[in-house]
């Protein structure tokens, strides 16, 4: 029976780009461009663009790695542990960078004992019921990971709206801290004015944004943390 089986394909004739975490610092990426998309490359240079961050609007470009084949695999170095990463396969031409494929979003190991000491306590039942009560018929995406299909960038909507309407929201966070103190938002230091005031703006998309804000006293000994939790839903 084995002789009648089709051989294991070398290529699948489909487009895909997949990222897999190997360890704290290495990401394994493999890809294939379908024949019809290879034409889109033209004379351009193909790259793997490594992004750090979860939301597209907040993602930082960490590296561009030139690739020469429309089919292959590569290990990419990840400088920072405990982060979301995503890879794009794009074509660079003289005018612009054109994304062709996006990989799934991955999260890497923290790699060390956390220096965050804030504790929240909850009961198993409380969390289980609260989470179960929110199950609805929707996408498969995990709350931490949004898996992007490699076709999403090219998919054309079949729905043609009669009126164009775009709404964006921004969140403004502002506060005051003891002059000389450091303030960290989501672990990253932010600018604090001389008198101790600070403000920052965040693009707010659908979903929940958790913003741990930690102040560290000038002597480095005392800390205080508050965690605003903001949700946006669109109906």
Partner 1 sequence: MKAKGFLAIVLHAHLPYVRHPELEWSLEELWLYEAITETYLPLLRIFDAFEREQIPCRLTMSITPTLGSMLQDQLLIERYLRHLDKMIDLCEKELERTRWQPEFYPLAQMYYQFYTEAKTDFCKRFSGDLVQAFAAFQDKGLVEIIASCATHGFLPLMDHAQAVDAQIAVGANWYREQFNRDPVGFWLPECGYALGVERSLQRHGIKYVITDTHGVLHSVPRPRYAVYAPVLHQVGVAFFGRDVESSKQVWSASEGYPGDFVYRDFYRDIGYDLDYDYVRPYLYSDYRGHTGIKYYRITGIEGEKLPYCPKVAREKAAEHAGNFMFNREKQVEYLAKHMDREPIIVAPYDAELFGHWWFEGPQWLDFLVRKIAFDQKTIKLITPGEYLERHRINQVVQPSVSSWGNNGYNEVWLDDSNEWIYRHLSVMAKEMVQLANIEAGDEIIKRALSAAARQVLLAQSSDWAFIMQTGTMVDYAVYRTNLHIQRFNLLKQQIMDGCIDLEFLETVESQDNLFPNLDYRVFRQASVNDKGVNHAWQLTSIVSQK
Query: Is 62 in contact with 52 (CB distance < 8 Å)?
Result: yes
Nearer of residues 40 and 210 to partner 1, judged by Cβ? 210
Integer-rounded Cα Rg, in Å, for the chain is 22
Helix (H, G, I), strand (E, B) or coil at 40: helix
Name the residue nearer to partner 1 (CB basis): 45 or 146. 146
Total residues at interface with partner 1 (CB under 8 A):
79
- Binding characters for partner 1, 117-136, by CB under 8 A (x = yes): xxxxxxxxxxxxxxxxxxxx
| Shortest distance in whole angstroms from residue 157 CB to partner 1 | 20
Stretch that binds partner 1, among 42-50, 140-148, 174-182, 194-202 (CB under 8 A): 140-148
132 phi and psi angles, rounded to 5 deg: -65, -35
Choosing from 42, 143, 161, 220, the residue that interacts with partner 1 (CB under 8 A) is 143
Shortest distance in whole angstroms from residue 112 CB to partner 1: 6
Build a one-symbol-per-residue string for 4-23: x at contacts with partner 1 by CB under 8 A, - elsewhere: xxxxxx--x-x-x-xxxxxx
3-state DSSP assignment of residue 126: helix
User: Taking CB under 8 A as the criterion, which residues in 145-204 touch partner 1?
Assistant: 145, 147
* Pairing mode, strands 106-107 and 60-67: unpaired
Shortest separation between residue 167's beta carbon and partner 1, angstroms: 19
The C-alpha atoms of residue 135 and residue 146 are separated, in whole angstroms, by: 17
Candidates 36, 113, 158, 191: give the one binding partner 1 (CB under 8 A): 113
Nearer to partner 1, 49 or 214 (CB): 214
Residues 48-87 that bind partner 1 (CB under 8 A): 73, 82
Nearest to 177 by CA among 210, 217, 150: 217
Task: Judge contact between 30 and 71, C-beta under 8 A.
Answer: no
- In the complex with partner 1, the residue whose CB is nearer, 95 or 155, is 155
Residue that is written with structure tokens 């190997």 in the block:
22
Residue 3: φ, ψ to 5°: -65, -25
């Amino acid at each position: 029976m084995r002789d009648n089986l089709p051989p294991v394909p070398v290529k699948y004739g489909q487009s895909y780009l997949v990222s897999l975490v190997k360890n704290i610092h290495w990401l394994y990426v493999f890809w294939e461009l379908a024949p019809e998309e290879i034409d889109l490359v033209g004379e351009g240079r193909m790259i793997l663009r490594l992004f750090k961050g979860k939301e597209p609007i907040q993602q930082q470009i960490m590296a561009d790695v030139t690739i020469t084949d429309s089919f292959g695999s590569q290990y990419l170095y990840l400088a920072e542990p405990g982060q979301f990463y995503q890879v794009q396969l794009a074509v660079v031409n003289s005018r612009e960078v054109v994304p062709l494929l996006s990989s799934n979003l991955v999260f890497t190991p923290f790699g060390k004992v956390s220096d965050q000491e804030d504790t929240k306590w909850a009961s198993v039942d409380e969390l289980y019921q609260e989470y179960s009560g929110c199950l609805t018929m929707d996408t498969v995406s995990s709350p931490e990971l949004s898996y992007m299909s490699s076709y999403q960038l090219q998919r054309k909507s079949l729905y043609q709206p009669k009126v164009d309407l775009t709404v964006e929201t921004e969140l403004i966070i502002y506060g005051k801290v003891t002059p000389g103190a450091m303030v960290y938002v989501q672990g990253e230091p932010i600018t604090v004015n001389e008198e101790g005031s600070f403000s920052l703006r965040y693009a707010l998309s659908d979903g929940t944004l958790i913003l741990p804000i930690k102040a560290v006293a000038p002597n480095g000994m005392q800390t205080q943390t508050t965690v605003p939790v903001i949700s946006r839903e669109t109906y």
